[in-house]
Structure formats: C-alpha cells, structure tokens
Chains A and B, each alone.
Chain A
Amino acid sequence: MESAPKDLAGRVVIITGAGQGIGRVYAEHFGAAGSKVVVAEINKENGEQAAKAINDAGGTAIAVPTDVTSEDSVKALAETVMDTYGGIQVLINNAAMSSVVKSRLIEETPLEDWDAFVRVNVNGTFLCSRAVVPIMRKAKWGRIINISSAGVNMGMGKLLNYVTSKAAIIGFTRGLAREVGPDGITTNAVLPGPVFTEIAREAETAAFKELLVTRQSIPRKEVAEDLVGTVMFLSSDASEFLTGQSVTVDGGLTHL
C-alpha cells in the first residue's frame, strides 16, 4: 500500500501469529502506516525477527511471545501491551492452525486433531478478544478483525476440522458485534482465499491452489498483500458503521 488510512498512525495494533506468513505481512504494513505493532507470536524467534524488521524500517513494534490457547499467556500479552503502549485499539485474530492441516476423511480424523483446531482457531480468537474488549470498552473505540476462510464459503471436504473452526469465527464475529457495538467497537471477519505465502501447506498442494486460481474472477495467485487493504480499512475510522460482517477477499472465487 502506498498510503494507508491516516488514522492508523499511532494506533496500537495486536496481530496474533505475526511471526510469519500473512500475519507478518500485516505487521509490516501496519508498521509502515505508523501504527504501534504488537507481534503476538508463539515462536519467540520468529516474533522477534518480525518486530526487529519493523523497527529497523523506522516503525514501532514489540514482540510478545504468546500462546493464544493459554488464558495466562493471553492475559500477560494484554498486560505487556498496556504497560508498553497504554492502550489497545486494534486486534487482528490471525493466529491459526492451517498450514499443518492434514487432508482426511471424517472417519479418519482423530478427536485430538479436531480438538487442536477448535482450541487454537476458535478458543484462541475468543481468549484474545475477551482480553482486549474491557480496554476497548473503556476507550469507547475498538476494532476486532477475525480471520476466517473462503473455505467456509466453498465447504471443502476432507478439511472438516479447519473449515468448521473457521465457520465458527463467523458466528463469533456476528454475536460479538452485537455485544460490543454500543461501545464503539466493531467486529468483522475477513475470509481470504488460497493465499500463496512462503509457508508450505500439507493439505493444499500447489496444484490444488493453482486449480482454484482458474476459478477466481481475478485469475491470478492471491498474495498476502491482497488482504492488507481490507484489513487496514476494517481497522480505520472509515469502516465505523460496518460491523458483524464477513468480507471475502479471494479474487471472486467464492461468496458467503
């Protein structure tokens, strides 16, 4: 983005899973927009590298090692951010189990595997949102952006754990929007398509992704940068009256 929304400068933006992949691209763009970026990342080294890259480029960022499935860890994240920056304006619930998803039939899916997806993708979004809502309520302003998936619109088979967890995010977004709307907080979901990042996915082979590209309205590979404009818009003042919504950003592959 050549020029991000101006009101993002100075805002404290927590991005979970920002140590790599799409999350890291969000972090870098918010850093360039003058936001105070919080890289909340389970992989300490990746998180520190991402924060360093933003600071080296003249931005402001801290890395906070965070396990979004741990109540204590998420609580510590919110405390660290408040101590460091004194506020939290934007939360991007990006951390998720996705690249490790294995393509398999329902009868071959172990309960432990299912539970892991619910724990990270659903409970993680709940815990992080619950930790920041009181702070946003007090400030009468907040933006929560949850990352779902165009896989929900498609209803992909053999990825039941992943697709179900991402569908839950849409219900969560709608319900939470009603709870926090009166306090100036909006909550929206972004549904990315098959994004090509540096991370190889077990289930989504390159061949499968390339097949999907041919079915998009815009027939080129989606990259992380394609999501940035929408996520920044949803973080800005301009989207003030948009809440509880699901915005699909997949080059017109699917619709909700």
Chain B
Amino acid sequence: MNGLKGRVAIITGAGQGIGRSYAQHFAEAGAIPVIVDVNFDSAKAVEKEIRETGGDCLAVAADISNEEQVAALVEQTLGTYGRIDVLLNNAALFSSLTARPVLEIPLDEWRSVMEVNITGQFICARAVLPHMIERKWGRIINISSGTVTMGLPWLLHYVTSKAAVVGMTRSLAREVGEHGVTVNVILPGSTQTEIERSTTTPEVRQKIVDMQCIKRTETPDDLARVALFLASDDSGFVTGQSIAVDGGLTHL
C-alpha cells in the first residue's frame, strides 16, 4: 500500500481485540501506531509486542470521552513524532454490553454508550484535525457496525450509536475534504477476537457465517487490510463513504 511508511496513526482502543490487530498491521506496513487504550497495561503490552518485532510505536493511556486526556494524547504524539497522519476511531463500548430489550436498558448505560461511541469519536477527530488541516493531509477512519444495516435488536444503544457514526462521517467529509483530509467509515461484521462475548455462542457464529457470501468467520486481519487501504494514498478520492467488510453479510 502506498505511502504508509513513517506515517503516524492514532488507533484508539488498541490494547485488545480488533484495535490491537490494527496496530500490528499498521506497524507491519511501516507506519507508527499510537496505541491508545483506557487500560494502560494492555496498551503497553501491545507496544511491547510491536517493539519486539522491530516496529516503532507508542502506548498512551486515554479515555476518549475525556477532552483533556485526548488533548494530552495529541500533544504527546506531536511531541514524540511531530505529526499525526491517521486517526482510527476504533474504541467503543461493545463487548461489555449485555444484550437486552429496549425496556431493560438503563438510561445510564444508554448515555455512556453515546458518550464513548459517538462523542468519543467526535472528541478525537476534533483534536487531530487542526494539525491535519495545517499539513493538508489526513485520514480519519471511523468504525461503525454491520448491526446498523441489519437493524439488530437487543443492543439498541450500541446500534444507534454506530448509526450516528455514519452520519458524522458523511458530514465531516464535506467539511474537511478541501484540506486534503478524507473521512470514511468501516462497518465490520461479526469478528472473532480473543475477547469472549457471552451472546456470541458457536451456534450464533455459525448462523452468521451461513448468511455471509464468504463462508468463514471474520477475523481482525480482514478489517485491518481495508483500514490500511483507507489510510493510504490509494484511497485519496474516496471520502464520506461507508465500507461494509463482513464477507458479504450486509449492504448499506
């Protein structure tokens, strides 16, 4: 992929799961991932893994819904590397959520999902944009979800928050396109990571695979390779778009 070498990519929620895979793939492609996680120990562990393979990277602890912490993250990244080329808005509340009907979702939980999954992406994008606009180049990659296209029940707050990300992507793309910054959103399908989810039993997973065009379970690698494309020069005229990467399970 073109032009990833030496590019600095802030990847939120990169201490585990799909985010960790993004960080590893970006490092392999010669980019410098900034591994952001609310859990500093897990971010440090990913940093160690990447450094052991000879890649440069930086672990930073930050809660993306906290303005000051995100400002500090940007400051530390610029202080260390002097540039931010890519923001991968991956951090989200998901695996900790209990699947339950609308009448049973507590308002507090609803609010915290919106705060992290929507407002967190806004705070991170707003924090990196002045720098990207100044340098006339940037890539913002937001993560939505195939559950939006499916209209999945029993996770109303999650699905609602991920639908908001599609709207944000389209509008933000129009605001920053003239400054050389593209904004796109990936809609992953049901992806297997090391994180256990009580609702995703092997039977459920098989049912999803049966509905896909490609009859195997999605892995983080499938997503990382698309993220690399959206972070590269090759996707320079693709902006405001939603890319479903789910083995052909859904279409927008």
Contacts and interface: CB of A to CB of B under 8 A. Distances in A.
Nearest to B235: A229
Contacts of A216: 177
B177 A218 contact: yes
B237 A251 contact: yes
Contact of B251 (A5, A182, A245): A245
A3 interface: yes
A178 B211 CA distance: 9
A218 B239 contact: yes
Contact of A239 (B213, B226, B238): B226
B246 interface: yes
Nearest to B211: A178
Interface in A187-235: 216-219, 222, 226-230, 232-233
Interface stretch (B101-109, B114-122, B197-205, B214-222): B214-222
B213 A181 contact: yes
A227 B228 CA distance: 17
A71 interface: no
B55 interface: no
A243 B215 CA distance: 12
Given A177-B248, A232-B234, A243-B247, A251 B239 contact: yes
B15 interface: no
A243 B214 contact: yes
B152 interface: no
A238 interface: yes
Given A181-B215, A244-B251, A217 B235 contact: no
Q: Which of B225, B237, B240 has the most CB of A within 10 A?
A: B237
B92 interface: no
Contacts of B251: 174, 244-246
A5 B1 contact: yes
A243 B2 contact: no
A229 B215 contact: no
A180 B212 CA distance: 11
A254 B209 CA distance: 31
A77 interface: no
Nearest to B238: A249
A108 interface: no
Contact of B229 (A238, A255, A256): A238
A156 interface: no
Nearest to A190: B238
Interface in A1-58: 1-3, 5
B243 A245 contact: yes
A106 interface: no
Interface in A140-194: 174, 177-178, 180-182, 186
Nearest to A170: B251
Interface in B61-78: none
Contact of A219 (B177, B218, B243, B246): B177
B178 A218 contact: yes
B242 interface: yes
A180 B2 CA distance: 30
A81 interface: no
A235 B242 CA distance: 19
A121 interface: no
B246 to A, nearest CB: 7
B174 interface: yes
Given A3-B2, A248-B238, A256-B252, A242 B243 contact: yes
B30 to A, nearest CB: 12
B170 interface: yes
A252 B215 contact: no
B232 A229 contact: yes
Contact of B213 (A233, A243, A251): A243
A241 B243 CA distance: 11
A238 B226 contact: yes
A181 B212 CA distance: 8
A248 B177 CA distance: 15
Nearest to A193: B237
A242 B226 contact: yes
B213 A252 contact: no
Contacts of B233: 1-2, 229
Interface of B: 1-3, 170, 173-174, 176-178, 182, 212-215, 218, 222-223, 225-226, 228-229, 232-248, 251-252
20 contacts: A178-B248, A182-B215, A186-B214, A216-B177, A217-B182, A222-B237, A226-B236, A238-B229, A239-B225, A239-B229, A241-B222, A241-B247, A242-B222, A242-B226, A243-B214, A251-B239, A252-B240, A255-B240, A255-B241, A256-B242
Per CB-CB distance, the 9 closest pairs between chain A and chain B, nearest first, are: A181-B213, A229-B234, A217-B177, A241-B222, A226-B237, A244-B248, A252-B240, A252-B239, A238-B225
